[in-house]
Amino acid sequence: MPSSPGRRARLVSPGTSRPSAEAREELRRRLQDLIEGNRVMIFSKSYCPHSTRVKELFSSLGVDYNILELDQLDDGANVQEMLLEITNQKTVPNIFVNKVHMGGCDRTLQAHKNGLLQKILQEDSAYDYDLIVIGGGSGGLSCAKEAAVLGRKVMVLDFVVPSPQGTSWGLGGTCVNVGCIPKKLMHQAALLGQALRDSRKFGWEYSQQVKHNWETLTEAIQNHIGSLNWGYRLSLRERGVAYVNSYGEFVEHHTIKVQQLEKGSPGKLKVTAKSTEGAEITEGVYNTVLLAVGRDSCTRDIGLEKIGVKINEKNGKIPVNDVEQTNVPYVYAVGDVLEGKPELTPVAIQAGKLLARRLHGTSSEKCDYSSIPTTVFTPLEYGCCGLSEERAVELYMTENLEVYHTLFWPLEWTVASRDSNTCYAKIICNKLDDNRVIGFHVLGPNAGEITQGFAAAMKCGLTKQLLDDTIGIHPTCAEVFTALEITKSSGLDITQKGC
Protein backbone atom coordinates (compact mmCIF):
# COMPACT_ATOMS: atom_id res chain seq x y z
CA MET A 1 0.00 0.00 0.00
CA PRO A 2 1.52 3.36 -0.96
CA SER A 3 2.22 5.73 1.87
CA SER A 4 0.15 8.85 2.37
CA PRO A 5 1.72 12.07 1.11
CA GLY A 6 3.84 14.07 3.49
CA ARG A 7 6.79 16.40 3.27
CA ARG A 8 10.11 14.62 3.08
CA ALA A 9 12.65 15.93 5.54
CA ARG A 10 16.28 16.16 4.46
CA LEU A 11 19.23 15.17 6.52
CA VAL A 12 22.72 15.78 5.16
CA SER A 13 24.65 12.67 6.17
CA PRO A 14 28.35 12.27 6.99
CA GLY A 15 28.56 8.84 5.32
CA THR A 16 27.78 5.21 5.92
CA SER A 17 30.60 4.29 8.30
CA ARG A 18 30.21 4.58 12.05
CA PRO A 19 30.67 8.31 12.74
CA SER A 20 33.23 9.81 15.08
CA ALA A 21 32.16 11.26 18.42
CA GLU A 22 32.09 14.73 16.85
CA ALA A 23 30.02 13.53 13.90
CA ARG A 24 27.62 11.72 16.26
CA GLU A 25 26.99 14.89 18.22
CA GLU A 26 26.38 16.74 14.96
CA LEU A 27 23.91 14.03 13.92
CA ARG A 28 22.17 14.28 17.29
CA ARG A 29 21.88 18.06 16.89
CA ARG A 30 20.37 17.76 13.40
CA LEU A 31 17.84 15.19 14.57
CA GLN A 32 16.88 17.45 17.47
CA ASP A 33 16.42 20.30 15.00
CA LEU A 34 14.00 18.15 12.98
CA ILE A 35 12.10 17.16 16.12
CA GLU A 36 11.86 20.70 17.46
CA GLY A 37 11.27 22.35 14.08
CA ASN A 38 8.29 20.30 12.90
CA ARG A 39 4.82 19.97 14.35
CA VAL A 40 4.75 16.26 13.45
CA MET A 41 7.99 14.44 12.70
CA ILE A 42 7.91 10.79 11.62
CA PHE A 43 11.06 8.73 11.33
CA SER A 44 9.97 5.95 9.01
CA LYS A 45 10.95 3.28 6.51
CA SER A 46 9.19 3.40 3.17
CA TYR A 47 8.35 -0.33 3.15
CA CYS A 48 7.15 -0.54 6.78
CA PRO A 49 3.38 -1.21 7.07
CA HIS A 50 3.29 0.22 10.60
CA SER A 51 4.80 3.46 9.30
CA THR A 52 2.18 3.50 6.56
CA ARG A 53 -0.65 3.20 9.10
CA VAL A 54 0.67 6.19 11.04
CA LYS A 55 1.02 8.31 7.91
CA GLU A 56 -2.54 7.44 6.94
CA LEU A 57 -3.73 8.42 10.41
CA PHE A 58 -2.24 11.92 10.21
CA SER A 59 -3.49 12.33 6.61
CA SER A 60 -7.02 11.41 7.74
CA LEU A 61 -6.77 14.05 10.46
CA GLY A 62 -5.69 16.65 7.90
CA VAL A 63 -2.43 17.18 9.76
CA ASP A 64 0.76 18.06 7.88
CA TYR A 65 3.69 15.89 8.81
CA ASN A 66 7.34 15.56 7.90
CA ILE A 67 8.92 12.20 7.11
CA LEU A 68 12.48 10.94 7.16
CA GLU A 69 12.68 7.57 5.40
CA LEU A 70 15.65 5.86 7.04
CA ASP A 71 15.90 3.15 4.35
CA GLN A 72 16.50 5.86 1.76
CA LEU A 73 19.46 7.38 3.62
CA ASP A 74 23.06 6.29 3.15
CA ASP A 75 23.55 6.38 6.91
CA GLY A 76 20.05 5.30 7.93
CA ALA A 77 21.50 2.76 10.35
CA ASN A 78 23.42 5.50 12.16
CA VAL A 79 20.29 7.65 12.32
CA GLN A 80 18.27 4.75 13.77
CA GLU A 81 21.02 4.10 16.33
CA MET A 82 20.98 7.76 17.39
CA LEU A 83 17.17 7.69 17.65
CA LEU A 84 17.55 4.70 19.97
CA GLU A 85 19.84 6.79 22.20
CA ILE A 86 17.44 9.74 22.17
CA THR A 87 14.15 7.84 22.64
CA ASN A 88 15.08 4.35 23.90
CA GLN A 89 13.01 2.99 20.98
CA LYS A 90 14.61 0.58 18.49
CA THR A 91 11.88 0.44 15.85
CA VAL A 92 10.11 2.64 13.32
CA PRO A 93 7.88 4.50 13.04
CA ASN A 94 9.34 6.81 15.67
CA ILE A 95 6.97 9.74 16.08
CA PHE A 96 7.17 13.17 17.66
CA VAL A 97 4.25 15.59 17.97
CA ASN A 98 4.98 19.14 19.13
CA LYS A 99 8.33 17.85 20.44
CA VAL A 100 6.59 15.15 22.52
CA HIS A 101 7.83 11.62 21.83
CA MET A 102 4.66 9.66 21.08
CA GLY A 103 6.46 6.34 20.50
CA GLY A 104 5.61 3.91 17.72
CA CYS A 105 2.53 2.88 15.79
CA ASP A 106 0.59 1.20 18.60
CA ARG A 107 1.12 3.97 21.14
CA THR A 108 0.22 6.67 18.62
CA LEU A 109 -2.98 4.88 17.59
CA GLN A 110 -3.87 4.38 21.26
CA ALA A 111 -3.21 8.08 21.94
CA HIS A 112 -5.58 8.92 19.07
CA LYS A 113 -8.20 6.57 20.46
CA ASN A 114 -8.15 8.08 23.96
CA GLY A 115 -7.95 11.68 22.75
CA LEU A 116 -4.39 12.40 23.89
CA LEU A 117 -3.04 12.83 20.36
CA GLN A 118 -5.66 15.44 19.53
CA LYS A 119 -4.84 17.32 22.72
CA ILE A 120 -1.14 17.42 21.91
CA LEU A 121 -1.83 18.42 18.29
CA GLN A 122 -3.96 21.35 19.46
CA GLU A 123 -1.23 22.70 21.69
CA ASP A 124 0.86 25.58 20.46
CA SER A 125 4.47 24.43 20.46
CA ALA A 126 5.49 27.72 22.08
CA TYR A 127 4.81 26.81 25.70
CA ASP A 128 5.47 29.13 28.59
CA TYR A 129 8.15 26.73 29.87
CA ASP A 130 10.19 23.90 28.42
CA LEU A 131 10.06 22.04 31.73
CA ILE A 132 7.85 22.38 34.80
CA VAL A 133 8.84 20.46 37.92
CA ILE A 134 6.19 19.74 40.54
CA GLY A 135 7.92 19.15 43.85
CA GLY A 136 11.15 20.73 45.05
CA GLY A 137 12.73 17.58 46.45
CA SER A 138 16.13 16.18 45.60
CA GLY A 139 15.11 14.70 42.24
CA GLY A 140 13.05 17.68 41.11
CA LEU A 141 15.74 20.22 42.00
CA SER A 142 18.44 18.15 40.34
CA CYS A 143 16.43 17.86 37.12
CA ALA A 144 15.47 21.55 37.13
CA LYS A 145 19.01 22.83 37.65
CA GLU A 146 20.49 20.52 35.01
CA ALA A 147 17.83 21.50 32.45
CA ALA A 148 18.51 25.19 33.16
CA VAL A 149 22.25 24.66 32.64
CA LEU A 150 21.34 23.12 29.26
CA GLY A 151 19.58 26.35 28.31
CA ARG A 152 15.96 25.39 28.95
CA LYS A 153 13.28 27.61 30.46
CA VAL A 154 12.34 25.93 33.74
CA MET A 155 9.87 26.44 36.59
CA VAL A 156 9.78 24.68 39.96
CA LEU A 157 6.52 24.49 41.94
CA ASP A 158 6.91 23.45 45.56
CA PHE A 159 4.43 23.74 48.39
CA VAL A 160 3.91 21.44 51.36
CA VAL A 161 0.75 21.85 53.41
CA PRO A 162 1.85 23.05 56.87
CA SER A 163 1.19 20.95 59.95
CA PRO A 164 -1.70 21.79 62.31
CA GLN A 165 0.89 23.63 64.40
CA GLY A 166 1.77 25.78 61.39
CA THR A 167 5.13 24.13 60.70
CA SER A 168 6.09 24.49 57.04
CA TRP A 169 8.82 23.15 54.77
CA GLY A 170 11.32 24.94 52.62
CA LEU A 171 12.92 23.75 49.38
CA GLY A 172 14.70 20.42 49.53
CA GLY A 173 11.92 17.91 50.07
CA THR A 174 11.88 15.10 52.61
CA CYS A 175 15.65 14.71 52.79
CA VAL A 176 16.47 18.24 53.89
CA ASN A 177 13.41 19.02 55.97
CA VAL A 178 12.42 15.85 57.78
CA GLY A 179 14.68 13.08 56.48
CA CYS A 180 18.38 12.52 55.87
CA ILE A 181 19.73 15.79 57.26
CA PRO A 182 17.91 16.04 60.63
CA LYS A 183 18.10 12.24 61.02
CA LYS A 184 21.90 12.12 60.70
CA LEU A 185 22.39 15.13 62.97
CA MET A 186 20.21 13.55 65.67
CA HIS A 187 22.10 10.30 65.18
CA GLN A 188 25.33 12.20 65.88
CA ALA A 189 23.80 13.63 69.06
CA ALA A 190 23.10 10.08 70.23
CA LEU A 191 26.65 8.96 69.41
CA LEU A 192 28.07 11.85 71.42
CA GLY A 193 25.97 10.77 74.40
CA GLN A 194 27.43 7.26 74.14
CA ALA A 195 30.93 8.72 73.76
CA LEU A 196 30.50 10.64 77.01
CA ARG A 197 29.71 7.39 78.81
CA ASP A 198 32.64 5.60 77.18
CA SER A 199 35.07 8.42 77.96
CA ARG A 200 35.34 7.56 81.68
CA LYS A 201 36.81 4.17 80.76
CA PHE A 202 39.46 6.00 78.72
CA GLY A 203 40.49 8.09 81.72
CA TRP A 204 38.37 11.20 81.32
CA GLU A 205 37.19 12.45 84.69
CA TYR A 206 34.48 15.05 85.15
CA SER A 207 32.26 15.88 88.08
CA GLN A 208 29.85 18.25 86.40
CA GLN A 209 26.44 16.73 85.76
CA VAL A 210 25.93 16.06 82.08
CA LYS A 211 22.44 16.52 80.69
CA HIS A 212 20.92 17.04 77.30
CA ASN A 213 19.00 20.15 76.20
CA TRP A 214 16.48 19.18 73.54
CA GLU A 215 15.67 22.79 72.64
CA THR A 216 19.34 23.56 71.91
CA LEU A 217 19.59 20.54 69.60
CA THR A 218 16.39 21.24 67.66
CA GLU A 219 17.20 24.93 67.25
CA ALA A 220 20.65 24.16 65.87
CA ILE A 221 19.26 21.57 63.44
CA GLN A 222 16.45 23.85 62.27
CA ASN A 223 18.94 26.67 61.70
CA HIS A 224 21.02 24.37 59.51
CA ILE A 225 17.94 23.22 57.58
CA GLY A 226 16.95 26.85 57.04
CA SER A 227 20.36 27.61 55.58
CA LEU A 228 19.99 24.68 53.17
CA ASN A 229 16.50 25.85 52.13
CA TRP A 230 17.90 29.27 51.34
CA GLY A 231 20.87 27.78 49.50
CA TYR A 232 18.59 25.78 47.19
CA ARG A 233 16.50 28.86 46.48
CA LEU A 234 19.61 30.89 45.67
CA SER A 235 20.93 28.11 43.43
CA LEU A 236 17.71 28.12 41.39
CA ARG A 237 17.85 31.90 41.09
CA GLU A 238 21.45 31.82 39.88
CA ARG A 239 20.48 29.38 37.13
CA GLY A 240 17.45 31.39 36.04
CA VAL A 241 14.90 28.83 37.25
CA ALA A 242 11.53 30.32 38.19
CA TYR A 243 10.54 29.16 41.69
CA VAL A 244 6.97 29.50 42.96
CA ASN A 245 5.99 28.45 46.48
CA SER A 246 2.61 27.13 45.34
CA TYR A 247 0.83 23.83 44.85
CA GLY A 248 0.97 22.59 41.24
CA GLU A 249 -2.00 20.79 39.70
CA PHE A 250 -2.74 19.58 36.16
CA VAL A 251 -5.97 20.96 34.75
CA GLU A 252 -5.55 19.57 31.22
CA HIS A 253 -2.78 18.43 28.92
CA HIS A 254 0.27 20.72 29.09
CA THR A 255 -1.56 23.08 31.44
CA ILE A 256 -0.77 23.43 35.15
CA LYS A 257 -2.38 25.80 37.62
CA VAL A 258 -0.87 27.01 40.90
CA GLN A 259 -3.85 27.58 44.23
CA GLN A 260 -1.63 28.28 47.37
CA LEU A 261 -3.46 26.30 50.00
CA GLU A 262 -4.46 27.61 53.41
CA LYS A 263 -2.00 27.13 56.20
CA GLY A 264 -2.99 24.78 58.97
CA SER A 265 -4.11 25.80 62.41
CA PRO A 266 -4.38 23.73 65.60
CA GLY A 267 -7.85 22.28 65.72
CA LYS A 268 -9.32 19.53 67.89
CA LEU A 269 -9.74 15.93 66.86
CA LYS A 270 -11.72 13.22 68.63
CA VAL A 271 -9.72 10.01 68.49
CA THR A 272 -11.03 6.46 68.80
CA ALA A 273 -8.52 3.60 68.83
CA LYS A 274 -8.89 -0.16 68.99
CA SER A 275 -6.11 -2.28 70.41
CA THR A 276 -4.85 -5.12 68.25
CA GLU A 277 -4.63 -7.27 71.37
CA GLY A 278 -8.25 -6.95 72.41
CA ALA A 279 -11.45 -4.92 72.32
CA GLU A 280 -10.13 -2.03 74.41
CA ILE A 281 -11.26 1.37 73.07
CA THR A 282 -9.54 4.60 73.96
CA GLU A 283 -11.18 7.95 73.33
CA GLY A 284 -9.75 11.44 73.70
CA VAL A 285 -9.58 14.90 72.20
CA TYR A 286 -6.26 16.04 70.74
CA ASN A 287 -4.78 18.87 68.69
CA THR A 288 -2.52 16.65 66.62
CA VAL A 289 -2.48 12.98 65.64
CA LEU A 290 0.78 11.47 64.40
CA LEU A 291 0.60 8.37 62.22
CA ALA A 292 4.09 6.89 62.24
CA VAL A 293 3.41 4.21 59.64
CA GLY A 294 5.53 5.45 56.74
CA ARG A 295 5.01 8.14 54.15
CA ASP A 296 2.19 8.80 51.72
CA SER A 297 2.66 9.38 48.00
CA CYS A 298 0.86 12.69 47.44
CA THR A 299 -0.21 11.98 43.85
CA ARG A 300 -3.99 11.92 44.13
CA ASP A 301 -4.54 15.67 44.40
CA ILE A 302 -2.39 17.06 41.59
CA GLY A 303 -4.74 16.37 38.67
CA LEU A 304 -2.97 13.34 37.22
CA GLU A 305 -6.33 11.71 36.48
CA LYS A 306 -7.25 14.68 34.27
CA ILE A 307 -4.46 13.85 31.82
CA GLY A 308 -4.61 10.07 32.21
CA VAL A 309 -1.42 9.39 34.17
CA LYS A 310 -1.73 5.97 35.80
CA ILE A 311 -0.84 5.44 39.45
CA ASN A 312 -0.88 2.45 41.75
CA GLU A 313 -4.21 2.98 43.46
CA LYS A 314 -3.07 1.13 46.57
CA ASN A 315 -0.01 3.22 47.42
CA GLY A 316 -0.17 6.20 45.07
CA LYS A 317 3.18 5.33 43.46
CA ILE A 318 3.70 6.05 39.77
CA PRO A 319 4.78 3.25 37.38
CA VAL A 320 7.36 4.34 34.80
CA ASN A 321 9.50 2.69 32.13
CA ASP A 322 13.29 2.49 32.26
CA VAL A 323 13.66 6.16 31.28
CA GLU A 324 11.27 7.41 34.03
CA GLN A 325 8.47 8.06 31.49
CA THR A 326 4.86 7.57 32.60
CA ASN A 327 2.12 6.24 30.35
CA VAL A 328 1.54 9.85 29.21
CA PRO A 329 4.53 10.56 26.94
CA TYR A 330 5.40 14.08 28.11
CA VAL A 331 5.08 13.37 31.86
CA TYR A 332 8.05 11.92 33.73
CA ALA A 333 8.62 11.10 37.39
CA VAL A 334 11.73 10.66 39.55
CA GLY A 335 12.45 10.12 43.22
CA ASP A 336 10.48 8.51 46.04
CA VAL A 337 7.21 8.63 44.09
CA LEU A 338 8.36 5.90 41.67
CA GLU A 339 6.93 2.44 42.05
CA GLY A 340 9.48 -0.26 42.80
CA LYS A 341 12.48 2.06 43.12
CA PRO A 342 14.59 2.88 46.23
CA GLU A 343 13.46 5.91 48.25
CA LEU A 344 16.93 7.44 48.54
CA THR A 345 18.14 10.99 47.99
CA PRO A 346 21.25 10.21 45.89
CA VAL A 347 19.11 8.00 43.64
CA ALA A 348 16.67 10.85 43.03
CA ILE A 349 19.49 13.32 42.36
CA GLN A 350 21.15 11.01 39.83
CA ALA A 351 17.87 10.14 38.12
CA GLY A 352 16.81 13.80 37.90
CA LYS A 353 20.10 14.92 36.41
CA LEU A 354 20.20 12.14 33.81
CA LEU A 355 16.54 12.72 32.90
CA ALA A 356 17.23 16.38 32.12
CA ARG A 357 20.15 15.39 29.91
CA ARG A 358 18.08 12.84 28.01
CA LEU A 359 15.13 15.18 27.56
CA HIS A 360 17.32 17.88 26.11
CA GLY A 361 19.49 15.78 23.88
CA THR A 362 22.92 15.80 25.49
CA SER A 363 23.04 12.19 26.71
CA SER A 364 21.28 8.85 26.51
CA GLU A 365 22.50 7.53 29.87
CA LYS A 366 19.85 5.99 32.11
CA CYS A 367 19.84 5.76 35.89
CA ASP A 368 21.20 2.46 37.17
CA TYR A 369 18.92 1.31 39.99
CA SER A 370 20.93 -1.82 40.76
CA SER A 371 23.47 -2.31 43.57
CA ILE A 372 22.63 0.97 45.28
CA PRO A 373 24.36 1.41 48.66
CA THR A 374 22.40 2.61 51.67
CA THR A 375 22.67 2.86 55.44
CA VAL A 376 20.25 2.80 58.36
CA PHE A 377 21.48 5.28 60.98
CA THR A 378 20.35 3.43 64.07
CA PRO A 379 22.65 3.62 67.14
CA LEU A 380 24.51 0.68 65.61
CA GLU A 381 24.63 1.53 61.90
CA TYR A 382 23.63 -0.97 59.22
CA GLY A 383 24.99 -0.59 55.68
CA CYS A 384 24.33 -2.69 52.61
CA CYS A 385 24.86 -2.81 48.87
CA GLY A 386 23.52 -5.28 46.34
CA LEU A 387 21.36 -8.29 47.16
CA SER A 388 20.08 -9.61 50.45
CA GLU A 389 20.83 -13.26 51.10
CA GLU A 390 17.17 -14.17 50.58
CA ARG A 391 16.97 -12.35 47.24
CA ALA A 392 20.27 -13.87 46.09
CA VAL A 393 18.91 -17.37 46.79
CA GLU A 394 15.79 -16.56 44.75
CA LEU A 395 17.88 -15.41 41.78
CA TYR A 396 20.84 -17.81 41.83
CA MET A 397 19.85 -20.76 44.13
CA THR A 398 21.68 -21.74 47.30
CA GLU A 399 24.10 -24.18 45.65
CA ASN A 400 25.49 -21.42 43.43
CA LEU A 401 26.25 -19.05 46.30
CA GLU A 402 28.93 -18.79 48.96
CA VAL A 403 28.21 -16.63 51.99
CA TYR A 404 31.14 -15.46 54.12
CA HIS A 405 30.41 -13.90 57.50
CA THR A 406 31.78 -13.08 60.91
CA LEU A 407 31.00 -11.26 64.11
CA PHE A 408 33.55 -8.64 65.15
CA TRP A 409 34.45 -6.35 68.04
CA PRO A 410 35.63 -2.78 67.23
CA LEU A 411 38.85 -1.96 69.08
CA GLU A 412 37.27 1.22 70.45
CA TRP A 413 34.68 -0.89 72.24
CA THR A 414 37.14 -3.10 74.12
CA VAL A 415 38.36 -0.61 76.75
CA ALA A 416 34.85 0.80 77.05
CA SER A 417 33.63 -2.72 77.90
CA ARG A 418 30.86 -2.52 75.32
CA ASP A 419 29.27 -5.72 74.11
CA SER A 420 31.65 -8.00 72.24
CA ASN A 421 30.59 -9.71 69.03
CA THR A 422 27.65 -7.37 68.49
CA CYS A 423 28.88 -6.23 65.08
CA TYR A 424 28.49 -8.35 61.98
CA ALA A 425 29.97 -8.53 58.47
CA LYS A 426 28.72 -10.59 55.52
CA ILE A 427 29.34 -10.89 51.80
CA ILE A 428 27.38 -12.99 49.31
CA CYS A 429 29.37 -14.36 46.36
CA ASN A 430 28.20 -15.85 43.07
CA LYS A 431 30.20 -19.03 42.49
CA LEU A 432 29.16 -19.10 38.83
CA ASP A 433 30.76 -15.69 38.23
CA ASP A 434 34.26 -16.01 39.69
CA ASN A 435 32.90 -15.52 43.23
CA ARG A 436 31.85 -11.97 42.38
CA VAL A 437 30.43 -10.11 45.40
CA ILE A 438 26.71 -9.56 44.76
CA GLY A 439 25.72 -8.65 48.32
CA PHE A 440 27.54 -6.63 50.99
CA HIS A 441 26.27 -6.17 54.55
CA VAL A 442 27.81 -4.63 57.66
CA LEU A 443 26.43 -3.86 61.11
CA GLY A 444 28.76 -1.69 63.13
CA PRO A 445 30.17 1.80 63.74
CA ASN A 446 30.46 4.07 60.69
CA ALA A 447 28.76 1.51 58.47
CA GLY A 448 27.79 4.26 56.03
CA GLU A 449 31.39 5.34 55.45
CA ILE A 450 32.49 1.71 55.04
CA THR A 451 29.70 0.80 52.63
CA GLN A 452 30.33 3.72 50.28
CA GLY A 453 33.80 2.52 49.36
CA PHE A 454 32.77 -1.09 48.92
CA ALA A 455 29.89 0.03 46.68
CA ALA A 456 32.42 1.55 44.26
CA ALA A 457 34.42 -1.68 44.35
CA MET A 458 31.29 -3.70 43.55
CA LYS A 459 30.60 -1.43 40.58
CA CYS A 460 34.06 -2.43 39.34
CA GLY A 461 33.30 -6.17 39.70
CA LEU A 462 34.67 -6.93 43.16
CA THR A 463 35.41 -10.64 43.77
CA LYS A 464 36.26 -12.62 46.90
CA GLN A 465 39.81 -13.09 45.59
CA LEU A 466 40.27 -9.33 45.20
CA LEU A 467 39.15 -8.86 48.80
CA ASP A 468 41.62 -11.53 49.94
CA ASP A 469 44.40 -9.80 48.00
CA THR A 470 43.64 -6.42 49.59
CA ILE A 471 45.71 -5.39 52.59
CA GLY A 472 43.49 -4.11 55.38
CA ILE A 473 44.01 -0.99 57.47
CA HIS A 474 44.64 -2.09 61.05
CA PRO A 475 42.90 -1.62 63.40
CA THR A 476 39.67 -0.68 61.64
CA CYS A 477 36.24 -2.27 61.30
CA ALA A 478 36.43 -2.34 57.50
CA GLU A 479 39.52 -4.56 57.49
CA VAL A 480 37.34 -7.48 58.57
CA PHE A 481 36.22 -7.78 54.94
CA THR A 482 39.79 -8.50 53.81
CA ALA A 483 40.04 -11.51 56.13
CA LEU A 484 36.72 -13.32 55.81
CA GLU A 485 37.31 -17.07 55.99
CA ILE A 486 34.24 -18.75 57.48
CA THR A 487 31.39 -19.66 55.16
CA LYS A 488 27.86 -19.83 56.42
CA SER A 489 27.46 -23.32 54.99
CA SER A 490 30.33 -24.60 57.17
CA GLY A 491 28.42 -23.85 60.36
CA LEU A 492 31.64 -22.88 62.15
CA ASP A 493 31.73 -20.45 65.07
CA ILE A 494 32.02 -16.83 63.90
CA THR A 495 32.77 -15.07 67.19
CA GLN A 496 35.92 -12.98 67.21
CA LYS A 497 38.87 -14.58 69.01
CA GLY A 498 41.47 -11.79 68.93
CA CYS A 499 42.61 -8.58 67.28
For residue 309, which of 295, 296, 324, 322 has the smallest C-alpha distance? 324
- Beta-strand ranges (E) seen in 167-303 are 242-244, 249-252, 255-257, 269-274, 281-286
- Please tell me whether residue 3 adopts helix, strand or coil conformation: coil
What is the rounded distance in angstroms from the CA atom of residue 45 to the CA atom of residue 72?
8
C-alpha 345/C-alpha 333 separation (Å) is: 14
SS3 (DSSP) at 101? strand
Give the active site residue among 101, 212, 224, 474: 474
Q: Contact 43/14 with Cβ under 8 angstroms? A: no
Residues 6+ apart with CB under 8 A from 399: none
CA distances for 282 relative to 275, 288, 291, angstroms? 8, 16, 16
Identify whether the C-beta of residue 94 lies closer than 8 Å to the C-beta of residue 34.
no
Q: How far apart are CA 192 and CA 495, in angstroms?
A: 28
Give the burial class of 486: count Cβ atoms within 10 A of its Cβ; 0-12 exposed, 13-18 middle, 19 or more buried.
Answer: middle
> How many other C-beta atoms can be found within 10 angstroms of the C-beta atom of residue 280?
9
Q: CA 191 → CA 210, 252, 321, 381, distances in Å?
A: 15, 51, 42, 11
Backbone dihedral angles phi then psi of residue 209, each to the nearest 5 degrees: -70, 130
Q: Is 441 assigned a catalytic role?
A: no
| Interacting residues of 60 by C-beta distance below 8 A, sequence separation 6+ | none
Structural element, H or E, at residue 66: strand 66-69
Catalytic positions: 474
